[in-house]
Amino acid sequence: MSKKYETNSKIKYIIFYIFDIFLSLLPKKKRIFPKNIHRILIIKPDHMGDMLMMTAILPCIKHCYNETKIDVVCGEWSAPILENNPYINNIFIINSYILNRKKISIFSKIAEFFSTSYKALKAININHYDLSIYARYSKGNLIPLHWFMKPTYSVGFGTRGRGVLLDLEADCSSIVHEADSFISLCKAISIENIGKLKCELYTTNDDQNSIKNIMKDNNIMSGEFVLIHLGSGDKNRLLDSRKWDNIIKKIDNSCKIVFTGLKNEQVLLDKLTINRENTIPLFGLLNVRQLYLLMCQAKMIYTVESLAAHLAGMTGVKTVSFYVYPSEKFSPLNAANVKIINVSELKQ
């Protein structure tokens, strides 16, 4: 089956195909790639780990179009990844109901999608963008919103249908890793010298001072503690508590263990049966930048498949990350320090 659509379901494939035929019959103004690009809008409604990987192409775009202002559309959950990024001018929030992980009803998610879309589109249409890049390869790419934007040349993927709404579909034939989709988008807009991609996260002096104070208050010394990040936004990626117990038993008793995560992930630690005094829970105390800075000070890191795995990959610190899903597509970017273990390979 052709890789035109990202699905192994024949029924979904046929639905995408028929819908695209219908859309292709609608009148559409043919546009050519702009000679001068002054403003670019990147639409990326993904979760934090995907957004972190996307930041790797921002320097490439800015280097090629150095006078360009880059704005980004994202979900409110991934906006912290973009804070302080010097390549980004404005951030607009659209909470896709498909990608929304809040514990609210589907009706509330849809209502939130429409309200954030209305507000964002109102602000977006004040500007004139020469180029819009739909940077999500999978479902929830927000391509239909292009109908409500002022005329602009658009690039993206038709892998979930509706690619006919775009002016140019990026090549999806060689996409294996998520980063390959970003490379394909760069090539579609005439960026060839991409080089080795590297995730971008910009910390502040306040972040650095906060970590210094947390380490001091908890008597944590650089290079002398193990950091364990138990949580993930996807519950299916969590590691069984018995498996965590077995892993923790193998850690030297003289080594402190720092547990990190969201405030509501404290319950994951409570399920463990570890009996050691030198454990330090820091749930709900760190933002994403501070988590990265603390990881940089660790002796070793353990994570599940999540944003934390990608952050750990940026640190160079020896890391073990447990994956439930195949790691080929979403493994940390260019991270030789990360060893990925499939959960199915672990003994109870």
User: Average of pLDDT values for 223-233?
Assistant: 95
Spatial contact of 320 and 248, defined as CB atoms under 8 Å apart = no
Amino acid found at 296: C
Which positions ≥6 away from 275 have C-beta within 8 Å? none
For residue 70, the cross-strand partners are 40
In degrees and rounded to multiples of 5, residue 281 shows phi and psi of: -85, 130
Query: How confident is the model at residue 348, as a pLDDT?
Result: 55
CA distance to 102, 122, 138, 257, 330, per residue, from 267 (Å) = 18, 41, 31, 17, 26
Q: What distance in Å separates the CA atoms of residue 254 and residue 279, rounded to the nearest whole number?
A: 11
Reported as type and span, the H/E element at residue 64 is: helix 58-64
Q: Average pLDDT for residues 141-155, to the nearest whole number?
A: 89
- Per-residue confidence band for 23, with pLDDT thresholds at 50, 70 and 90: confident
pLDDT one-digit tens code per residue, 304-324: 999 999 999 999 999 999 998
For 276-286, the pLDDT digits (tens) are: 788 999 999 99
Going by the DSSP 8-state scheme, the letter that residue 97 receives in this structure is T
pLDDT at residue 1, rounded to an integer: 39
State how far Cα 244 lies from the chain centre. Answer: 25
Measured between alpha carbons, how far is 17 from 87 in angstroms, rounded to an integer? 37
Strand ranges inside 82-151, DSSP E: 90-93, 131-134
Can you tell me the distance from the alpha carbon of 148 to that of 274, in angstroms, rounded to the nearest whole number? 54
Query: Which residue bears the tokens 């890191």?
Result: 301
The CA distances from residue 291 to 92, 219, 250, 287, 305, in Å, are: 24, 17, 24, 6, 16
- CA 56 to the chain's CA centroid: 11
Kindly calculate the radius of gyration of the chain based on its CA atoms and give it in whole angstroms: 22
Least trusted range by pLDDT, from 24-28, 140-144, 215-219: 24-28
What are the chain's domains? 10-188 (3.40.50.2000), 205-345 (3.40.50.2000)
Using a pLDDT cut of 70, give the percent of the chain over it.
99
